[in-house]
Amino acid sequence: MSTLNPFAIAQQQLDEAAKRLGLDAATHELLRWPMREYHFTLPVKMDNGVTRIFKGYRVQYNNARGPTKGGIRWHPEETIDTVRALAAWMTWKTAVVDIPLGGGKGGIVCNPKEMSNGEKERLARSYIRAVGRELGVHRDVPAPDVYTTPQIMAWMMDEYETIMGHSHPAVITGKPLPVGGSQGRGDATARGGVYIVREAAKAMNINVKNSSYAIQGFGNAGQFAATLHPEILGGGRLLAATDSRGGVFNRDGLDPNALVKHKLESGALTGFPGAKPISNDEILELECDVLYPAALEGVITAKNAGNIKAKIMCELANGPTTPEADKILFEKGVYVLPDFLANAGGVTVSYFEQVQNTYNYYWSLADVHQQLDRKMTDAYKSVYEMSKKTKVHNRLNAYMVAVARVAEACKIRGWV
């Protein structure tokens, strides 16, 4: 396996945590591999009458702490190793925020951008016909991920209910509100991250009301982070933001609401009044209190980690920092809030959706926010307590908290 294989990276991260925790050989080996995985061949009749054959996967990584949970990705370059890695990371993510779920992930090799709505619906239903008997609120609960939407989740839930012959909204989360979706799902990833930034800033004695922040990546998570940072922290100055086309910067601050409006109306950040241009590389090296990498993986590497000047880095994207960069940032004193802790707000609210569906009672938006705040704050405190004992970088601290919890459940069950 090459070191660029995502599953090899996931195993390497686990190995380091297992070694520091002193895990026995059997438990360590058990946690290095998925408990089960499924490969499907999915025939779908396209609009032109031709039947196309798609490859699909579902990996149930570990269910020691509860039913497996994780998104379904539709991507032309989807591979089983990507799905395995993401299922492993979901296992640690649900454990670090201490929700009673395991980790899973699914994928279909396809390009949804080239498909009509009818073709997408037939593919969604075909996937559920293949995997349905392995799913269930007490077995495995999918959700949306790359290029899948609430509408696709609704088709999948409907197909599952058609097969089962009764109502089962909790089998899939990330659904539209009229068919059992939860309030507060839209901004949950960014909101959870900002709650953790608030706690980290308190621990570091940073004046949150006057904090400056910058955002690389201005999609869903980046836009919500822009507006929620001042709302949750009671103040803050947005210095810069970038998207795939470039970015904008103003040392005196940008109006986050006006910037989001500009992006939604024009499709880009460039051209925002009263701002200078800034590149995706430059924004990472900006002097600020909080940096939110919310775009792609692998943007902070051994090459630029030494130039990062932020005090706190909150990873809303998956995998923005390479393992080499983690060590450099730690030595430099940059406080990293690692992705599977920082962006766990999404899966936490998905879990809330599952709970609401199961007992058929729905919470107010205020209830969702309150419960999310409690969960994210507790998760941060667990990692912070671990960091005081270990004196290692925070990704490893978060891993150690999560892996210890999963290992404990495996032992209590008598698996190892």
- d(CA 265, CA 257) in angstroms, rounded, equals 12
Rounded Cα gap, residues 187 and 202, in angstroms: 23
User: What is the spatial distance between Cα 186 and Cα 330, in angstroms, rounded to a whole number?
Assistant: 32
Per-residue pLDDT for 133 more than 50? yes
175 and 264 inside one domain: no
- Of 295, 319, 342, the position where a domain reaches its end is 342
Give the CATH number for residue 247. Answer: 3.40.50.720
| 105 a catalytic residue | yes
Are 143 and 282 in the same domain?
no
Range of the domain at 324: 188-342
Euclidean distance between CA atoms 294 and 217, whole angstroms? 5
pLDDT digits (tens, 9 = 90+) for 266-291: 999 999 998 999 998 999 999 999 99
Beta bridge pairs of residue 225: none
Of 105, 263, 311, 375, which residue is the catalytic one?
A: 105
Tokens 């051994």 belong to residue: 302
Q: What are phi and psi of 248, to 5 degrees?
A: -130, 150
Beta-strand runs (E) in 191-254: 212-216, 237-243, 246-254
Place of tokens 């919470």: 363
Q: Is the pLDDT of residue 2 over 80?
A: no
Question: pLDDT > 70: what percent of the chain?
Answer: 99
Inside any domain, residue 14: no
From edge to edge, which strands make up the β-sheet containing 212-216?
Answer: 276-278, 246-254, 237-243, 212-216, 290-293, 312-314, 335-337
Whole-angstrom Cα distance, residue 403 to residue 400?
5
Is the predicted pLDDT of residue 371 greater than 50, yes or no?
yes
Same domain, 170 and 254: no
Residues 6+ apart with CB under 8 A from 355: none
* Domain annotation covers residue 383: no
Query: Do 265 and 317 fall into the same domain?
Result: yes
Residue 60 pairs in a beta bridge with 36, 104
Six-digit token pair at 359? 């007992």
| C-alpha–C-alpha distance, residues 102 and 387, integer Å | 24
Burial (0-12, 13-18, 19+ Cβ within 10 Å), 60: buried
pLDDT tens digits, one per residue of 302-346: 999 999 999 999 999 888 888 889 999 999 999 999 999 999 999
Tens digit of pLDDT for each residue in 153-179? 999 999 999 999 999 999 999 999 999
Three-state DSSP class for 391? coil
Q: Which of 179, 213, 248 is the last residue of a domain?
A: 179
Span 354-362, average pLDDT: 95
Number of folded domains in the chain?
2
Most confidently modeled range among 141-150, 203-212, 399-408? 399-408
Q: Tokens standing for 139?
A: 């077995």
Report the candidate in 203, 395, 212 with the shortest Cα–Cα distance to residue 290.
212
| Residue 175 and residue 251 share a domain | no
How do strand 276-278 and strand 36-45 relate by DSSP bridges?
unpaired
